[in-house]
């Protein structure tokens, strides 16, 4: 061994030892948030006393909420950071948590990702802050979503009761009825594509969020979670219903091979080659900004049903604000959560075009009477509010849904580009998710 | 009992003093070298010996991550894919680069510097931007391919379908790196003394003979270097699949290339430890392949 290599070996061994020291000291400071309860007076006192709060969120209307909040509590300074949207923010958050440094006080977390953070002990259980008393303020769907494993891990910020957005101009042109059931939807898809080979009923290149939402609407419960015991089963009747219709849409090439949120997608929404989009009630703002060409042509309708005459809906998307377990000013953070998601902040966000999770807003006549310019003056909130009431109860996501969704296209996605059936694809998705769950210490069946 | 006579050790003081002097000079370098070069490698190896789980926390698992990776069919499918990419794309790219370099060097080309710059230009385009741009070109619905189909009433095969995606990525990297490799070859050709060509011409050698007997042997070192860079580049394939995945999510899996697999493991699954093991194995494979090529390439120089 040359002297140079010897030195290198010694140096790397020293670094290794340093790294070993640095890596081992987390998880020692988590005991503080356990039993102690925090009263409303404590929170008010914290708000009066003031301090600095760091909030990681990408929701655009929060900016105005922060301004209002600082007006009301001049001693508090809120540092609103956009650390990325969705996955990107979770990555940054996970890294900060792992490093034990730079963890924000408050983070925006989508409902599907919330159980993963809750089980990783990254979030503060708000039960000790009296959050359970706020249950009646929120719609049941979002409220159910922030409850995980017996704790309350955030306050719902927005929600995504689903609706069917459709291009009325296209439907009128080809004299197609707006589908009331998914079977009619399939027929409409055939009719439209036959009339204009460049037009598709919708786009889909395999979207885990849409798949789980539609299975949810069909009454499927592929995931059951009981502590660390998890079952995954895409053989249940609800999933089968979904597979039947979607397999036909795929096999008959009735889905535009365009990924959601791509430029092509917004072009298609604007030019009529994509005729419907089934998604959450937060969508209209995106239409306005990214597909202005479709303004006036589009309308909202109730989501087609799996059983004729039923009134079932599901959530797609939506997020909560949660208090990080490693954050510093927890009382202050809770004060901000209440202000933004339950208090004065809600109206600010509604005025900014957000779709809230509070039941009061959904019953507000002024809000219901809002006319959407993009939908040619349609009072779309009435449809969204109705959908919010009809969300099927009892749905739960996996405690590792973030990972699971990331491998959806590896597995179920095969059905969109090859001869693999969607049923087999979902089975592969199930197996891959189960494998990961077991590796991560869950008992997955 | 006779005790064997042990020779007294040589005086140590002289040696110690000498090594101290040396350290003053190499010290600053060694510190930076250790921090930016050895530390990340050591940390990766350290990470790869643990397993941090959502339930159960962090535990030392020895070489478990390595055994798992060596039996991981997803990992090996990624390695196989970059291997295939390597044996097809690298020869094509280097051949084209060589052709262009020889053409420029021949001195018979009109507008030589224009060609040199325009062929090199793609290399100046950031890799991410290049991938985005080609993504637009490849789009069969709203991209250039779609427009060509519309305009000519034909139906070109979708470049983003699973069976063509690797070739499409190869096309992007070829476009991007021909100019870079061309420049390496061209500069190597520039230092060949012109007098050699003159004497070869006097001896009656044609251009092809000059290329075969003078130019190619003269730039052999450059050829080996370019090949090694290209091999490493192939194994590190990441940008193109990562960007194009937004357009072709079903054709590009999360384990499309080993690097992309390591990225997905870390950022979607939080499997940082396993990802570190994959990265270390990939580094070893790349080192072995590059070393073998170097040995073969410089054998009888």
pLDDT of residue A17: 41
Task: Name the CATH architecture for the domain at A38-159+317-362.
Answer: 3-Layer(aba) Sandwich (3.40)
What is the interface pTM, i.e. ipTM, of the complex? 0.81
Asked if the domains at A38-159+317-362 and A162-314+372-444 fall in one CATH topology, the answer is yes
Do residues B222 and B202 touch, judged by C-beta distance below 8 A? no
pLDDT of residue B11: 53
A15 to B264: CB separation less than 8 angstroms, yes or no: no
Alpha carbons B222 and B187: distance in angstroms, whole number: 9
Q: Predicted confidence band at A432 (pLDDT cuts at 50, 70, 90)? A: very high
**Tens digit of each residue's pLDDT (9 = 90 or more) over A12-21:** 444 444 444 3
**Tens digit of each residue's pLDDT (9 = 90 or more) over A271-322:** 999 999 999 998 988 898 889 999 999 999 999 999 999 999 999 988 999 9
CA distance A81 to chain B (A): 20
Do residues B234 and B82 touch, judged by C-beta distance below 8 A? yes
Percent of chain B at pLDDT > 70 equals 93
Alpha carbons B223 and B237: distance in angstroms, whole number: 21
Nearest to B264 among A400, A406, A439 (CB): A406
Do residues A239 and A215 touch, judged by C-beta distance below 8 A? yes
Contact pairs from chain A to chain B, CB under 8 Å: 109
Sort out which chain B residues have CB atoms less than 8 A from A413's CB and list them.
Answer: 249-250
Q: What is the DSSP letter of B72?
A: -
B268 to A402: CB separation less than 8 angstroms, yes or no: yes
pLDDT of residue B154: 86
A83 sits in the region (left: phi over 0; alpha: psi -120 to 50; else beta) called alpha
CA atoms within 13 A on the CB side of A188: 24
Q: Please name the residues in contact with A406: beta carbons below 8 A apart, sequence gap of 6 or more.
A: A87, B254, B264, B268, B269
For an interface test with B, the pick among A89, A207, A225, A259 (most B C-beta atoms closer than 10 Å) comes out as A259
Report whether pLDDT(B276) > 50.
yes
Residue B261: closest C-alpha in chain A: A407
The number of beta carbons lying within 10 Å of the beta carbon of residue B268 is: 20
32-51 of B, contacting A, C-beta below 8 A: 33-35, 38-39, 41-43, 45-46
DSSP H helices in A100-225: 114-119, 140-146, 168-173, 182-195, 208-217
B264 and A CB contact within 8 Å: yes
A417 and B CB contact within 8 Å: yes
Strands in A302-383 per DSSP E: 319-323
Q: Which helix (H) or strand (E) holds A238?
A: helix A237-251
DSSP H helices in chain B: 13-33, 39-48, 64-70, 73-105, 112-124, 127-138, 144-152, 165-190, 194-202, 207-210, 216-218, 220-235, 239-244, 258-267, 272-297
For an interface test with A, the pick among B38, B135, B140 (most A C-beta atoms closer than 10 Å) comes out as B38
**Tens digit of each residue's pLDDT (9 = 90 or more) over A36-61:** 677 888 888 888 888 899 999 988 88
Strands in A149-266 per DSSP E: 151-152, 155-156, 162-167, 202-203, 223-226, 229-232, 255-256
Q: Any idea where the domains of chain A sit in the sequence?
A: 38-159+317-362, 162-314+372-444
Residue A93: closest C-alpha in chain B: B267
Sort out which chain A residues have CB atoms less than 8 A from B45's CB and list them.
Answer: 16
Nearest to A16 among B46, B55, B140 (CB): B46
pLDDT of residue B298: 74
Q: Mean pLDDT throughout B232-254?
A: 91
pLDDT of residue B13: 52
Q: Which helix (H) or strand (E) holds A444?
A: strand A443-444
pLDDT of residue A282: 87
pLDDT of residue A285: 83
Percent of chain A at pLDDT > 70 equals 92
Q: Predicted confidence band at B17 (pLDDT cuts at 50, 70, 90)? A: low
Domain A162-314+372-444 homologous superfamily, CATH: Periplasmic binding protein-like II (3.40.190.10)
Alpha carbons A163 and A178: distance in angstroms, whole number: 12
Report whether pLDDT(A1) > 70.
no
Residue B142: closest C-alpha in chain A: A264
Percent of chain A at pLDDT > 90 equals 61
**Tens digit of each residue's pLDDT (9 = 90 or more) over B210-220:** 998 999 999 99
For an interface test with A, the pick among B133, B141, B264 (most A C-beta atoms closer than 10 Å) comes out as B141
pLDDT of residue B6: 52
How far out from the chain centre does Cα A140 lie?
A: 16
pLDDT of residue B18: 61
Do residues A341 and A349 touch, judged by C-beta distance below 8 A? no
The number of beta carbons lying within 10 Å of the beta carbon of residue A386 is: 16
Q: Predicted confidence band at A394 (pLDDT cuts at 50, 70, 90)? A: confident
- Average pLDDT value over all residues in chain B: 88
**Domains, chain B, with CATH or none:** 21-64 (no CATH), 72-297 (1.10.3720.10)
200-239 of A, contacting B, C-beta below 8 A: 205-206, 228
Most confident of A139-148, A426-435, B206-215: A426-435
- Average pLDDT value over all residues in chain A: 87
A263 and B CB contact within 8 Å: yes
A205 to B57: CB separation less than 8 angstroms, yes or no: no
pLDDT of residue B15: 52
């Amino acid at each position: 061994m040359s002297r140079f290599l010897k030195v290198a070996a010694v140096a790397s061994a020293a670094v290794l030892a340093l790294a070993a020291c640095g890596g081992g000291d987390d998880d020692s400071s988590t005991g503080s948030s356990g039993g102690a309860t925090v009263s409303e007076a404590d929170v008010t006192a914290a708000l009066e006393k003031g301090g600095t709060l760091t909030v990681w969120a990408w929701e655009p209307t929060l900016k105005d909420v922060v301004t209002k909040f600082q007006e009301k509590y001049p001693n508090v300074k809120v540092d609103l950071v956009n650390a990325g949207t969705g996955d990107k923010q979770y990555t940054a958050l996970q890294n900060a948590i792992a490093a034990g440094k730079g963890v924000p006080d408050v983070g925006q977390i989508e409902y599907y990702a919330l159980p993963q953070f809750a089980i990783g002990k990254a979030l503060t259980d708000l039960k000790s802050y009296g959050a359970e008393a706020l249950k009646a303020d929120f719609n049941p769907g979002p409220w159910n979503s922030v409850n995980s494993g017996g704790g309350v891990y955030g306050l719902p910020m927005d929600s995504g009761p689903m609706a069917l957005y459709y291009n009325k101009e296209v439907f009128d042109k080809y004299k197609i009825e707006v589908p009331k059931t998914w079977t009619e939807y399939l027929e409409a898809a055939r009719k439209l594509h036959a009339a204009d080979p460049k037009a598709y009923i919708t786009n889909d290149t395999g979207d885990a969020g849409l798949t789980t939402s539609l299975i949810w609407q069909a009454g499927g419960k592929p995931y059951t979670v009981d502590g660390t015991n998890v079952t995954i089963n895409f053989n249940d009747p609800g999933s089968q219903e979904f597979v039947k219709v979607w397999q036909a849409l795929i096999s008959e090439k009735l889905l535009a091979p365009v990924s959601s949120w791509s430029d092509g997608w917004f072009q298609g929404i604007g030019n009529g080659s994509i005729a419907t989009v089934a998604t959450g009630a937060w969508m209209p703002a995106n239409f306005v900004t990214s597909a202005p060409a479709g303004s006036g042509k589009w309308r909202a309708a109730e989501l087609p049903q799996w059983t004729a005459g039923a009134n079932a809906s599901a959530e797609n998307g939506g997020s909560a604000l949660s208090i990080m377990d490693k954050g510093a000013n927890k009382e202050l953070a809770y004060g901000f959560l209440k202000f933004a998601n339950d208090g004065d902040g809600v109206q600010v966000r509604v005025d900014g075009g957000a779709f809230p999770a509070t039941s009061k807003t959904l019953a507000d006549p002024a809000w219901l009477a809002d006319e959407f310019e993009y939908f040619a003056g349609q009072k779309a909130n009435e449809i969204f509010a109705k959908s919010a009431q009809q969300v099927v109860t009892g749905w739960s996501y996996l405690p590792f849904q973030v990972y699971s969704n990331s491998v959806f296209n590896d597995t179920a996605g095969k059905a969109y580009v090859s001869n693999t059936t969607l049923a087999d694809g979902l089975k592969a998705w199930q197996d891959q998710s189960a494998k990961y769950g077991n590796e991560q210490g869950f008992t997955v069946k | 009992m006779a005790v064997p006579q042990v020779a007294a050790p040589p005086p140590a003081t002289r040696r110690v003093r000498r090594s101290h002097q040396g350290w003053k000079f190499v010290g600053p370098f060694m510190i930076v070298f250790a921090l930016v070069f050895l530390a990340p490698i050591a940390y990766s190896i350290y990470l790869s010996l643990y397993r941090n789980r959502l339930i159960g926390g962090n535990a030392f698992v020895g070489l478990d991550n390595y055994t798992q990776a060596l039996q991981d069919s997803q990992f090996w499918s990624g390695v196989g894919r970059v291997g295939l990419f390597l044996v097809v794309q690298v020869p094509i790219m280097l051949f084209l680069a060589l052709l262009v370099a020889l053409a420029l060097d021949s001195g018979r080309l009109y507008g030589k510097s224009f060609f040199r710059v325009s062929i090199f230009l793609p290399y100046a385009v950031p890799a991410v931007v290049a991938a985005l741009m080609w993504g637009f070109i490849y789009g069969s619905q709203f991209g250039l391919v779609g427009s060509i189909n519309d305009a000519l009433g034909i139906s070109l095969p979708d470049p983003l379908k699973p069976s063509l995606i690797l070739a499409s990525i190869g096309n992007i990297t070829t476009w991007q790196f021909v100019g870079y490799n061309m420049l390496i070859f061209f500069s190597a050709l520039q230092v060949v003394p012109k007098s050699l060509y003159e004497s070869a011409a006097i001896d009656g050698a044609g251009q092809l003979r000059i290329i075969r007997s003078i130019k190619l042997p003269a730039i052999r070192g450059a050829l080996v270097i370019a090949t090694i860079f290209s091999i490493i580049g192939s194994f590190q394939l990441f940008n193109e699949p990562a960007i194009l995945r937004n357009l072709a999510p079903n054709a590009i899996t999360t384990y499309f290339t080993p690097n992309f697999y390591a990225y997905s493991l870390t950022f979607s699954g939080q499997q940082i430890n396993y990802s570190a093991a994959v990265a270390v194995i990939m580094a070893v494979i790349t080192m072995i392949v590059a070393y073998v090529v170097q040995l073969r390439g410089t054998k009888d120089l």
